[in-house]
Structure 1
Amino acid sequence: MKLTILGGGGFRVPLVYGALLADRGEGRVTRVVLHDLDDSRLNAVARVLDEQAAAVPDAPEVTATTDLDEALRGADFVFSAIRVGGLEGRANDERVALAEGVLGQETVGAGGIAYGLRTVPVAVDIARRVARLAPDAWVINFTNPAGLVTEAMSRHLGDRVIGICDSPVGLGRRIARVLGADPKQAWIDYVGLNHLGWVRGLRVAGRDELPRLLADPDLLGSFEEGKLFGVDWLQSLGAIPNEYLHYYYFNRETVRAYQQVEKTRGAFLADQQARFYEEMKRPGAAALTAWDRTRAEREATYMAENRESAGAGERDADDLSGGYEKVALALMRAVARDERTTLILNVRNQGTLSVLDTDAVIEVPCLVDANGAHPVSVSPLPEHATGLVCAVKGVEREVLAAAESGSRTTAVKAFALHPLVDSVNVARRLVEGYAAVHPGLAYLR
């Protein structure tokens, strides 16, 4: 079975390959094709993968190419994890927004819109090529903003594109762990959009254990989200929000914290990964050791500004292991082998949330089998969550319209309508600022 990884020179690709190495089942991936526009990054990651596979018999064969059509042709699965504009683009997303006093995070608010505007045209081109060159392939999208990009691709691939994210998985795992439950045996009632969802229940053996957590201040304050949001706020909500909702619920504090740091997250990662890729140019460098060291630092500093503004302290060691590669592998196994499972995924709504139309991509538990991912029916969201979900989905639709039409006016509308952008004039300046630093937005007229 052939797996094509788009963004194959990306830093986190070894996580995916590590998951593949652990899979010894029948029908497993036997060939991996890495695609990237940057030869040197491809070579660096290929060296890490080679060291990973050294002690593993029958490890999946790895090849690399800068030819997109060659990479896609004949693929059974396509894993998309591209970053249009690179980490320098992410740093610019943050810098332009913060200069206007608004959030520049890569998936939320102004930064997420800018990232989406330059990513959607590229993702749509990829989707069209997949439909032509590998019509039977399943596309697993991890490219951010994951929900928006999945919806853009779904207009050309239908339900054969499925978005994944590790945030809901990590959240459910933390809640189950605190409650003393096995995460694999728990049913997580989670619903929303990517990076905009809430856990409303966690059932073990048919019993909802979330009320027990919400009623115990000590227990509730003992894990990441309790420290981040505060016990009182979680009890008021009656649910556990995805960590990215901290940008909405504590926006002023977060923006202030981001403005005060010496380097934004994007600038930090750009410098950190530049050192890694530069080190990989030395023939004798220990690739896997260098990658492990860099990854540990990356994970430990994740959402550091949010935790600092909330006084949440350092991340727990158990939260430094990522998880999206496990979701990707579980999804591939379920589809390829009909190993039925339940995963929280980004899929078309299909009537699951009545306040959104059928084609709107949402993040929700899905039953997965050989025919793909099927969203599970969920109860309605409370009004405060419904309002936020509908507002952000409306913004995503304006981003898609701007990307399709090339309309700068529509792009301004997308920024202006976002709950975290507080002025139409700010939205206009954001479009001007982003267009000045991103060649990928030259299509906006």
Structure 2
Amino acid sequence: MQRKNLVIVGGGSTYTLGMIMSLIEEKEHFPLKKITFYDINATRQEIIAKAAKVLLKEHYPELESFSYTTDKATAFSDMDAAFVQIRTGGLAMRELDEQIPIQHGVIGQETCGAGGMAYGLRSIKDMIELVHDIRQYSRDAWILNYTNPAAIVGLALKREFPEDKRILNICDMPIAIMKSYADLLEKDVWELVPEYFGLNHFGWFSKILDKQGHDLTDDIKNKIINGDFLPTDKEIAHDESWIQTFRKARQMLVDFPEFLPNTYLQYYLYPDDLAKKESPDNTRARQVINGREKRVHELCDHIISQQTTHDINIEADIHGVYMIRAAASLVFNWKETFVVMVENNGIISNLPDDALVEVPALLTSHGPKAFSVGEIPTFYKGLIESQHAYEKLVVEAYYENSYNKLLQALTLNRTIVHAPKAKGILDDLIDTNKDYWPELN
């Protein structure tokens, strides 16, 4: 296979080192000639990049070039693929996204509810600019976007670039959940074939099959209901917040046993329960700052000082492997199945055509070819239509500078519902996001 060139946008992310290990593990499936990191934060990127350089020297000697830069022309020229994960405003703004809703008695979460809306409005402008920049230097590169909140960002990119067929919006949460299913069954996760429907962070597995066509769904349900359900991907397996999240997914299955839920549905189905457990002094952002960010930076410092990884155990993660295999399927026309986001256009026949649905699709050199889902039951249809309306209103509010549409969006959102509360949250978020959001009318 011809070796390709890859740019990782958001090179300073604490997930990037895991992505590098995944690229090393998957180098036979997605062989690379050049890897470039791009980030607007040179200081944050440098520590990750210097550690990555040691990793690549030891484990990817056939790679011809590795570099990191804050220059767009250097980063985006002559690229075959771009992996995009940006966080406009950084963790400092994420903490405010979470604290402000909590102070109003509702859920403060990175991608869901008011926090997700705030993050989405910050992300849209930068993502649009980023795609324009990539296209200026690499017209045909595949852009795999997994910037959160992916549903809002994806809708905006569809609106801005309706004819660009080489942008794929993708999320790793379905595969992380499937990893736990596979471990319950003592199988390899890549042996599982999902049937899935919904929106990003708002969906359900209707079936899990193996590659021979055997239906494993009831076996998974029984093991979860009659036992425990825990995260098993190494990146989240020991994180107490994720442990409680997966256990809440078990409760969702007990209450609504028809389909296997995405873990993020806990925020929409049990908002009052979760809001009671949150504290503005111990947000998820604060846990990341004191946990993963600190751990990854200490690891990078150690690698840089030793100039070797021989005494360190770093493994590929399911997040990275999923993105890499999806990219390889697009670039090399593997036609493998992945759960991705596509414009509905009848895939789920009783949902709006313009919804950005998350469903299984063959990834080909001509883009995703989604499998038909057909009609979904009334309960799920109602939930999804409300969530889609919220997401669509947020994107419309961005383009129209509309305060009223943001208020409508937050009032629709199941984590809030109460209009006066939505207004109070919105006004506080406007104040803290004045340097990032469009000026609202």
TM-score (norm 2): 0.86
Corresponding letter in the other structure for 1:236: F
Residue 127 of structure 1 is matched in structure 2 by 131
CA distance in 2, matches of 1:217, 1:323: 21
Secondary structure in 2 matching 1:411: helix
- Cα gap change, 1:117 to 1:276, in 2 (>3 Å): same
Measured after TM superposition, the shift of residue 3 of structure 1 is: 1.2
- Cα gap change, 1:222 to 1:136, in 2 (>3 Å): closer
Is residue 2:440 matched to residue 1:444? yes
CA distance in 2, matches of 1:411, 1:69: 36
Residue 406 of structure 2 is matched in structure 1 by 411
Measured after TM superposition, the shift of residue 79 of structure 1 is: 1.1
Which string of whole-angstrom CA distances, capped at 9 and with x for unpartnered residues, describes residues 12-51 of structure 1?
1112222222234387222112111111112111112012
Which stretches in structure 2 are left out of the alignment for 5+ residues? 232-244
CA distance in 2, matches of 1:338, 1:29: 16
Which string of whole-angstrom CA distances, capped at 9 and with x for unpartnered residues, describes residues 120-156 of structure 1?
1111222233333322111101100012212222331
Is residue 2:392 matched to residue 1:397? yes
Measured after TM superposition, the shift of residue 327 of structure 1 is: 1.3
Residue 241 of structure 2 is matched in structure 1 by none
Q: Larger deviation: 181-190 or 167-176?
A: 181-190
Measured after TM superposition, the shift of residue 232 of structure 1 is: 7.9
Which stretches in structure 1 are left out of the alignment for 5+ residues? 296-319
Q: Decide which of 150, 162, 178 is 2:184's aligned counterpart.
A: 178
Corresponding letter in the other structure for 2:74: E
Which string of whole-angstrom CA distances, capped at 9 and with x for unpartnered residues, describes residues 253-296 of structure 1?
2111113x74111122234426865896799645887xx89x9x
CA distance in 1, matches of 2:109, 2:246: 22
Which string of whole-angstrom CA distances, capped at 9 and with x for unpartnered residues, describes residues 239-262 of structure 1?
110111111222212111113x74
Contact kept, 8 Å, 1:41 with 1:277, in 2: the verdict is no
Corresponding letter in the other structure for 1:131: R
CA distance in 1, matches of 2:322, 2:361: 12
Residue 262 of structure 2 is matched in structure 1 by 242
Is residue 2:143 matched to residue 1:139? yes
Residue 210 of structure 1 is matched in structure 2 by 217
Corresponding letter in the other structure for 1:167: M
Which string of whole-angstrom CA distances, capped at 9 and with x for unpartnered residues, describes residues 169-197 of structure 1?
12223223323444323221111111111
CA distance in 2, matches of 1:428, 1:107: 19
Residue 234 of structure 2 is matched in structure 1 by none
Q: Larger deviation: 46-55 or 110-119?
A: 46-55
Contact kept, 8 Å, 2:32 with 2:63, in 1: the verdict is no
Q: Decide which of 8, 27, 33 is 1:30's aligned counterpart.
A: 33
* Aligned pairs (5 A) from 1:84-123: 84-123=88-127
- Cα gap change, 1:122 to 1:24, in 2 (>3 Å): closer
Measured after TM superposition, the shift of residue 423 of structure 1 is: 1.8
CA distance in 1, matches of 2:371, 2:75: 34
Query: Percent identity over the alignment?
Result: 25
CA distance in 2, matches of 1:15, 1:362: 28
Secondary structure in 1 matching 2:429: helix
* Aligned pairs (5 A) from 1:342-357: 342-357=337-352
Q: Larger deviation: 128-137 or 330-339?
A: 128-137
* Aligned pairs (5 A) from 1:53-92: 53-56=56-59, 57-59=61-63, 61-92=65-96
Measured after TM superposition, the shift of residue 356 of structure 1 is: 3.2
Task: Tell me how many residue pairs correspond in the alignment.
Answer: 418
Corresponding letter in the other structure for 2:132: R
Contact kept, 8 Å, 1:355 with 1:390, in 2: the verdict is no
CA distance in 2, matches of 1:24, 1:283: 22
Residue 236 of structure 2 is matched in structure 1 by none
- Cα gap change, 1:59 to 1:101, in 2 (>3 Å): same
Residue 323 of structure 1 is matched in structure 2 by 318
Contact kept, 8 Å, 1:214 with 1:220, in 2: the verdict is no
Q: Larger deviation: 428-437 or 125-134?
A: 125-134
- Cα gap change, 1:200 to 1:281, in 2 (>3 Å): closer
- Cα gap change, 1:120 to 1:222, in 2 (>3 Å): closer
Residue 169 of structure 1 is matched in structure 2 by 175
Secondary structure in 2 matching 1:212: helix
- Cα gap change, 1:399 to 1:51, in 2 (>3 Å): same
Contact kept, 8 Å, 2:142 with 2:166, in 1: the verdict is yes
Corresponding letter in the other structure for 1:378: V
Contact kept, 8 Å, 2:51 with 2:304, in 1: the verdict is no
Residue 420 of structure 2 is matched in structure 1 by 425
TM-score (norm 1): 0.85
Measured after TM superposition, the shift of residue 333 of structure 1 is: 1.1
Measured after TM superposition, the shift of residue 211 of structure 1 is: 2.3
Residue 39 of structure 1 is matched in structure 2 by 42
Corresponding letter in the other structure for 1:33: T
Corresponding letter in the other structure for 2:168: I
Secondary structure in 2 matching 1:5: strand
Q: Decide which of 284, 298, 304 is 1:265's aligned counterpart.
A: 284
Contact kept, 8 Å, 1:215 with 1:235, in 2: the verdict is no
Secondary structure in 2 matching 1:159: coil
Measured after TM superposition, the shift of residue 395 of structure 1 is: 0.8
Residue 256 of structure 1 is matched in structure 2 by 276
Contact kept, 8 Å, 1:159 with 1:348, in 2: the verdict is no
